[in-house]
Protein backbone atom coordinates (compact mmCIF):
# COMPACT_ATOMS: atom_id res chain seq x y z
CA UNK A 1 0.00 0.00 0.00
CA UNK A 2 1.27 3.47 -0.90
CA UNK A 3 0.38 6.34 1.43
CA UNK A 4 -0.80 9.72 0.12
CA UNK A 5 1.16 12.38 1.99
CA UNK A 6 -0.33 15.43 0.27
CA UNK A 7 -3.42 16.02 -1.84
CA UNK A 8 -4.19 19.32 -3.59
CA UNK A 9 -6.91 20.31 -6.05
CA UNK A 10 -5.14 22.32 -8.77
CA UNK A 11 -8.43 23.15 -10.44
CA UNK A 12 -11.95 21.65 -10.38
CA UNK A 13 -10.94 18.65 -12.49
CA UNK A 14 -7.21 18.18 -11.79
CA UNK A 15 -5.65 16.83 -8.59
CA UNK A 16 -2.05 16.68 -7.38
CA UNK A 17 -0.93 13.90 -5.03
CA UNK A 18 2.41 13.33 -3.33
CA UNK A 19 2.79 9.60 -2.70
CA UNK A 20 5.21 7.79 -0.40
CA UNK A 21 7.09 5.48 -2.79
CA UNK A 22 10.83 5.46 -1.94
CA UNK A 23 11.86 2.65 -4.29
CA UNK A 24 10.25 4.39 -7.26
CA UNK A 25 11.60 7.81 -6.26
CA UNK A 26 15.12 6.37 -6.09
CA UNK A 27 15.12 5.52 -9.80
CA UNK A 28 12.54 7.83 -11.40
CA UNK A 29 13.49 10.17 -14.24
CA UNK A 30 11.46 12.75 -16.19
CA UNK A 31 9.29 11.17 -18.87
CA UNK A 32 8.71 7.90 -17.03
CA UNK A 33 5.38 6.76 -15.66
CA UNK A 34 3.72 4.62 -13.00
CA UNK A 35 0.67 2.37 -13.16
CA UNK A 36 -1.77 2.55 -10.27
CA UNK A 37 -4.79 0.67 -9.00
CA UNK A 38 -6.80 2.70 -6.51
CA UNK A 39 -8.44 -0.44 -5.08
CA UNK A 40 -7.88 -4.18 -5.30
CA UNK A 41 -10.55 -4.57 -7.98
CA UNK A 42 -9.73 -1.28 -9.69
CA UNK A 43 -8.56 -0.61 -13.24
CA UNK A 44 -4.84 -0.41 -14.02
CA UNK A 45 -4.13 3.15 -15.20
CA UNK A 46 -0.83 4.75 -16.27
CA UNK A 47 0.14 8.23 -15.06
CA UNK A 48 3.33 10.06 -15.97
CA UNK A 49 5.48 11.02 -13.00
CA UNK A 50 5.05 14.77 -12.46
CA UNK A 51 7.89 15.10 -9.94
CA UNK A 52 9.91 13.12 -7.41
CA UNK A 53 12.07 13.68 -4.36
CA UNK A 54 14.75 11.06 -3.82
CA UNK A 55 15.62 12.28 -0.31
CA UNK A 56 12.03 12.25 0.92
CA UNK A 57 11.18 9.10 -1.03
CA UNK A 58 8.13 10.66 -2.69
CA UNK A 59 6.60 10.64 -6.15
CA UNK A 60 4.18 13.31 -7.35
CA UNK A 61 1.34 12.53 -9.73
CA UNK A 62 -1.09 14.98 -11.33
CA UNK A 63 -4.24 13.60 -12.91
CA UNK A 64 -7.47 14.72 -14.49
CA UNK A 65 -10.68 13.28 -13.08
CA UNK A 66 -12.25 11.87 -16.24
CA UNK A 67 -13.44 8.32 -15.52
CA UNK A 68 -14.18 5.77 -12.85
CA UNK A 69 -10.55 4.92 -12.07
CA UNK A 70 -9.47 8.53 -11.56
CA UNK A 71 -12.65 9.21 -9.57
CA UNK A 72 -11.72 6.32 -7.27
CA UNK A 73 -8.19 7.65 -6.94
CA UNK A 74 -9.45 11.15 -6.19
CA UNK A 75 -11.73 9.74 -3.48
CA UNK A 76 -8.70 8.72 -1.39
CA UNK A 77 -7.78 11.47 1.05
CA UNK A 78 -4.45 12.45 2.63
CA UNK A 79 -3.25 9.65 4.89
CA UNK A 80 -5.08 7.04 2.83
CA UNK A 81 -3.37 4.47 0.64
CA UNK A 82 -3.32 3.53 -3.03
CA UNK A 83 -3.51 -0.23 -3.51
CA UNK A 84 -0.90 -0.55 -6.31
CA UNK A 85 1.69 1.96 -7.48
CA UNK A 86 4.21 0.38 -9.87
CA UNK A 87 7.20 1.95 -11.60
CA UNK A 88 9.16 3.68 -12.86
CA UNK A 89 8.17 2.41 -16.30
CA UNK A 90 9.07 3.59 -19.79
CA UNK A 91 12.18 5.21 -21.23
CA UNK A 92 13.32 8.47 -19.59
CA UNK A 93 13.17 11.61 -21.71
CA UNK A 94 16.42 12.51 -23.46
CA UNK A 95 17.78 15.68 -21.89
CA UNK A 96 21.57 15.46 -22.17
CA UNK A 97 23.43 17.77 -24.54
CA UNK A 98 20.52 20.08 -25.34
CA UNK A 99 21.38 23.80 -25.22
CA UNK A 100 18.10 25.49 -26.16
CA UNK A 101 14.68 23.88 -26.08
CA UNK A 102 11.05 24.94 -26.28
CA UNK A 103 8.72 22.88 -24.09
CA UNK A 104 5.08 23.00 -25.16
CA UNK A 105 2.38 21.75 -22.82
CA UNK A 106 -1.37 21.55 -23.28
CA UNK A 107 -3.87 21.14 -20.45
CA UNK A 108 -3.03 18.39 -18.00
CA UNK A 109 -0.14 17.47 -20.32
CA UNK A 110 1.71 20.32 -18.59
CA UNK A 111 2.13 17.95 -15.64
CA UNK A 112 4.26 15.76 -17.90
CA UNK A 113 6.08 18.67 -19.53
CA UNK A 114 7.08 20.35 -16.28
CA UNK A 115 9.56 17.74 -14.94
CA UNK A 116 11.28 17.70 -18.33
CA UNK A 117 11.59 21.49 -18.32
CA UNK A 118 12.86 21.33 -14.74
CA UNK A 119 15.52 18.74 -15.59
CA UNK A 120 16.68 20.68 -18.67
CA UNK A 121 16.93 23.87 -16.61
CA UNK A 122 19.02 22.09 -13.97
CA UNK A 123 21.42 20.96 -16.72
CA UNK A 124 21.97 24.56 -17.87
CA UNK A 125 19.75 24.39 -20.95
CA UNK A 126 17.93 27.55 -22.01
CA UNK A 127 14.27 26.64 -21.64
CA UNK A 128 11.40 28.45 -23.32
CA UNK A 129 7.96 27.16 -22.29
CA UNK A 130 4.55 27.52 -23.89
CA UNK A 131 1.54 26.26 -21.96
CA UNK A 132 -2.06 26.30 -23.14
CA UNK A 133 -5.46 25.85 -21.52
CA UNK A 134 -9.08 26.27 -22.55
CA UNK A 135 -9.61 28.98 -19.93
CA UNK A 136 -8.20 30.57 -16.77
CA UNK A 137 -9.96 28.12 -14.45
CA UNK A 138 -8.00 25.19 -15.89
CA UNK A 139 -4.57 26.80 -15.46
CA UNK A 140 -2.00 24.68 -13.58
CA UNK A 141 1.73 24.92 -12.72
CA UNK A 142 2.29 28.48 -13.90
CA UNK A 143 4.66 29.35 -11.05
CA UNK A 144 6.55 26.08 -11.48
CA UNK A 145 7.13 26.74 -15.17
CA UNK A 146 8.21 30.33 -14.45
CA UNK A 147 10.89 29.05 -12.09
CA UNK A 148 12.54 26.87 -14.76
CA UNK A 149 11.96 28.90 -17.95
CA UNK A 150 13.82 31.86 -19.42
CA UNK A 151 10.66 32.64 -21.39
CA UNK A 152 7.09 31.57 -20.62
CA UNK A 153 3.99 32.10 -22.75
CA UNK A 154 0.61 31.23 -21.22
CA UNK A 155 -2.18 30.79 -23.77
CA UNK A 156 -5.92 30.39 -23.27
CA UNK A 157 -8.47 29.59 -25.95
CA UNK A 158 -10.86 32.28 -24.74
CA UNK A 159 -8.31 34.90 -23.68
CA UNK A 160 -9.42 34.79 -20.03
CA UNK A 161 -5.76 34.64 -18.95
CA UNK A 162 -2.41 35.23 -20.59
CA UNK A 163 -2.68 35.53 -24.37
CA UNK A 164 -5.68 34.50 -26.42
CA UNK A 165 -4.84 31.79 -28.90
CA UNK A 166 -3.29 28.38 -29.34
CA UNK A 167 0.13 27.12 -28.28
CA UNK A 168 1.08 27.00 -31.96
CA UNK A 169 0.53 30.77 -32.16
CA UNK A 170 3.11 31.37 -29.42
CA UNK A 171 5.54 28.82 -30.85
CA UNK A 172 5.25 30.37 -34.31
CA UNK A 173 6.07 33.79 -32.82
CA UNK A 174 9.09 32.47 -30.91
CA UNK A 175 10.46 30.88 -34.08
CA UNK A 176 9.82 34.10 -36.04
CA UNK A 177 11.78 36.03 -33.40
CA UNK A 178 14.85 34.05 -34.43
CA UNK A 179 15.03 31.47 -31.68
CA UNK A 180 16.89 28.43 -32.93
CA UNK A 181 15.87 25.41 -30.91
CA UNK A 182 17.80 22.17 -30.70
CA UNK A 183 14.48 20.52 -29.99
CA UNK A 184 10.82 21.19 -29.32
CA UNK A 185 9.12 18.94 -26.77
CA UNK A 186 5.34 18.85 -27.11
CA UNK A 187 3.04 17.15 -24.60
CA UNK A 188 -0.72 17.41 -24.52
CA UNK A 189 -3.81 16.37 -26.49
CA UNK A 190 -3.07 14.42 -29.65
CA UNK A 191 -4.53 17.10 -31.89
CA UNK A 192 -2.32 19.73 -30.24
CA UNK A 193 0.82 17.63 -30.70
CA UNK A 194 -0.12 16.93 -34.32
CA UNK A 195 -0.31 20.63 -35.19
CA UNK A 196 2.84 21.50 -33.23
CA UNK A 197 4.67 18.85 -35.26
CA UNK A 198 3.24 20.18 -38.51
CA UNK A 199 4.62 23.62 -37.63
CA UNK A 200 8.06 22.45 -36.56
CA UNK A 201 8.39 20.19 -39.59
CA UNK A 202 8.06 23.28 -41.79
CA UNK A 203 11.07 24.76 -39.99
CA UNK A 204 13.10 21.56 -39.73
CA UNK A 205 13.09 21.52 -35.91
CA UNK A 206 13.36 18.14 -34.25
CA UNK A 207 10.24 17.52 -32.17
CA UNK A 208 9.62 14.95 -29.46
CA UNK A 209 6.12 14.05 -28.27
CA UNK A 210 4.93 12.00 -25.30
CA UNK A 211 2.27 9.47 -26.29
CA UNK A 212 -0.36 8.09 -23.95
CA UNK A 213 -2.39 5.47 -25.81
CA UNK A 214 -4.55 2.81 -24.19
CA UNK A 215 -2.27 0.81 -21.89
CA UNK A 216 -2.86 -2.27 -19.74
CA UNK A 217 0.18 -4.14 -18.45
CA UNK A 218 2.91 -1.55 -19.10
CA UNK A 219 5.52 -4.19 -19.99
CA UNK A 220 4.99 -4.64 -23.74
CA UNK A 221 3.08 -7.93 -23.51
CA UNK A 222 -0.52 -6.90 -24.22
CA UNK A 223 0.12 -4.72 -27.27
CA UNK A 224 -2.68 -2.35 -26.32
CA UNK A 225 -0.42 0.71 -26.49
CA UNK A 226 0.82 0.09 -30.01
CA UNK A 227 1.51 3.04 -32.28
CA UNK A 228 2.75 3.46 -35.81
CA UNK A 229 5.97 5.46 -35.84
CA UNK A 230 7.86 5.83 -39.09
CA UNK A 231 5.82 3.02 -40.60
CA UNK A 232 6.78 0.61 -37.81
CA UNK A 233 4.76 -0.66 -34.86
CA UNK A 234 6.02 0.59 -31.51
CA UNK A 235 4.79 0.05 -27.96
CA UNK A 236 4.49 3.25 -25.92
CA UNK A 237 5.13 1.45 -22.63
CA UNK A 238 8.56 0.05 -23.52
CA UNK A 239 9.67 1.98 -26.62
CA UNK A 240 8.35 5.30 -25.31
CA UNK A 241 6.43 7.20 -24.21
CA UNK A 242 8.64 9.71 -26.09
CA UNK A 243 8.80 9.48 -29.89
CA UNK A 244 9.90 11.55 -32.88
CA UNK A 245 6.75 13.57 -33.49
CA UNK A 246 7.41 13.90 -37.20
CA UNK A 247 7.16 10.11 -37.56
CA UNK A 248 4.06 9.45 -35.43
CA UNK A 249 0.81 8.53 -37.22
CA UNK A 250 -1.42 10.86 -35.21
CA UNK A 251 -4.58 10.10 -37.18
CA UNK A 252 -4.31 6.41 -36.34
CA UNK A 253 -3.55 7.20 -32.70
CA UNK A 254 -6.61 9.46 -32.44
CA UNK A 255 -8.82 6.83 -34.05
CA UNK A 256 -7.63 4.11 -31.67
CA UNK A 257 -7.90 6.44 -28.68
CA UNK A 258 -11.61 6.93 -29.33
CA UNK A 259 -12.49 3.24 -29.63
CA UNK A 260 -13.64 2.92 -26.03
CA UNK A 261 -15.19 6.35 -25.56
CA UNK A 262 -18.74 4.97 -25.20
CA UNK A 263 -17.57 2.29 -22.76
CA UNK A 264 -15.71 4.88 -20.68
CA UNK A 265 -18.79 7.11 -20.56
CA UNK A 266 -20.93 4.17 -19.43
CA UNK A 267 -18.43 3.25 -16.69
CA UNK A 268 -18.36 6.83 -15.46
CA UNK A 269 -22.15 7.14 -15.39
CA UNK A 270 -22.43 3.94 -13.36
CA UNK A 271 -19.56 4.71 -10.98
CA UNK A 272 -20.74 4.33 -7.40
CA UNK A 273 -18.91 7.52 -6.44
CA UNK A 274 -21.35 9.60 -8.44
CA UNK A 275 -24.24 8.39 -6.33
CA UNK A 276 -22.90 8.87 -2.84
CA UNK A 277 -20.85 11.34 -0.85
CA UNK A 278 -17.26 10.18 -0.42
CA UNK A 279 -16.07 10.34 3.19
- How do residues 4-44 score in pLDDT, each as one tens digit? 999 999 998 999 999 999 999 999 999 999 999 998 888 88
Number of domains observed in the structure of the chain: 2
Q: Is the pLDDT of residue 261 over 80?
A: no
* One domain for residues 214 and 144: yes
How many other CB atoms are found less than 10 A from the CB of residue 185?
30
Residue 70: which CATH number? 2.40.30.10
* One domain for residues 54 and 173: no
* All residues at 6 or more sequence positions from 74 whose CB lies less than 8 Å from its CB, including other chains: 15, 63, 65
Residue 80 domain-assigned (yes or no): yes
**Residue 5 half-sphere exposure toward CB, CA atoms < 13 A:** 13
Model pTM?
0.86
Q: Which of 37, 50, 33 is nearest to 211 (CA)?
A: 33
The CA-CA-CA angle for residues 15, 16, 22, to 5°, reads: 145
Please give the DSSP secondary-structure letter assigned to residue 137: G
* One domain for residues 106 and 70: no
Q: Is the pLDDT of residue 267 over 70?
A: no
pLDDT tens per residue, range 52-110: 999 999 999 999 998 888 999 999 999 999 999 999 999 999 998 999 999 999 999 99
State the average pLDDT for the chain. 90
Dist CA 17 CA 7 (whole Å): 5
Q: Which of 62, 89, 116 is the last residue of a domain?
A: 89
* One domain for residues 163 and 67: no
Residue 270 domain-assigned (yes or no): no
188 in the Ramachandran plot: left (φ > 0), alpha (ψ -120 to 50) or beta? Answer: left
* φ, ψ for residue 63, nearest 5 deg: -140, 155
* One domain for residues 106 and 84: no
Please give the DSSP secondary-structure letter assigned to residue 248: B
Check residue 277 and give its pLDDT. Answer: 47
Amino acid sequence: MFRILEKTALNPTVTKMVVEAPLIAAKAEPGQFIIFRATEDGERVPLTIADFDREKGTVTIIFQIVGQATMELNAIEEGGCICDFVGPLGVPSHTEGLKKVCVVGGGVGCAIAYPIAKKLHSLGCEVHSVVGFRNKDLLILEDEFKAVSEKLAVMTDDGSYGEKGLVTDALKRLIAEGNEYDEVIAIGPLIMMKFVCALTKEHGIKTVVSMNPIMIDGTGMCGGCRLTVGGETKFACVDGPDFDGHLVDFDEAMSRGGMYRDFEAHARENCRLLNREVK
